[in-house]
Amino acid sequence: MIIQKTPDWEKLLHEEFAKPYFALLKKGVDEIYQHGLAFPAKEKMFRAFELCPPKDVRVVILGQDPYHTPGVADGLAFSTASLNPIPPSLRNIFKEIAEEYGVPIRTNPDLSDWAKQGVLLLNTSLTVDSGKANSHADIGWYEFTDAVVRTLSDQREHVVFMLWGNYAREKRVLIDRAKHLVLESPHPSPLSAYKGFFGNGHFRKANEYLRAHDRGEVSWY
């Protein structure tokens, strides 16, 4: 289960992998995949890390947990395969980008191009049971993703953290605001997008910050 394809993450998080809770997490996840249906596919569990080495991380976008409908989750927060319908929250993300930049609404829900530009698309839980949202919240993933956020904050500089919704915003206490930009808003889901996600300007603000610190820009569309 450990991120075997990403030696840089292995090195960065090696102390975390040695902790007792991670051994329990690994055992629990292995049992879940052996005896039940969970998402994403096990080989895609750490895909967010595989596509975005730690040295390349410029933006962290935190989701809650993977899509719990068969055939949707692809290992990247908010993303799904290009031939799939665009999930509602992602459609709202694309609407916000279109509004900020005056461009057509993006039609490709596969966000691997963002990941390859240094956007870590990280869910606070990396797995979920079929049909049961947030079902793996208490098996150890939160402790692990807390460590990821804290380590990036401590060991990297000038990263933009986009925290949408209450689950993501809880991690703001782990981030050094003197070194990084923290952007917070309601979640882009249809239930809350009109309560402050639309109009938050996060994508332009992220690129302005990255550009000001000589870290380039992310092509969002």
Nearest-angstrom CA–CA distance, 42 and 221 = 29
Q: Is 65 a catalytic residue?
A: yes
Q: Which of 30, 56, 65, 113 is catalytic?
A: 65
Give me the helices (H) in 84-217, please.
88-101, 112-115, 141-155, 166-169, 202-212
Nearest-angstrom CA–CA distance, 196 and 200 = 6
Q: Is 182 helix (H, G, I), strand (E, B) or coil?
A: strand
Q: What is the CA radius of gyration of the chain?
A: 17
What is 13-71 written as a DSSP string?
A: THHHHTSHHHHHHHHHHHHHHHHS-EES-GGGTTHHHHTS-GGG--EEEEESS---STT
Nearest-angstrom CA–CA distance, 13 and 108 = 32
Residues annotated as catalytic (active site), given as ranges:
65
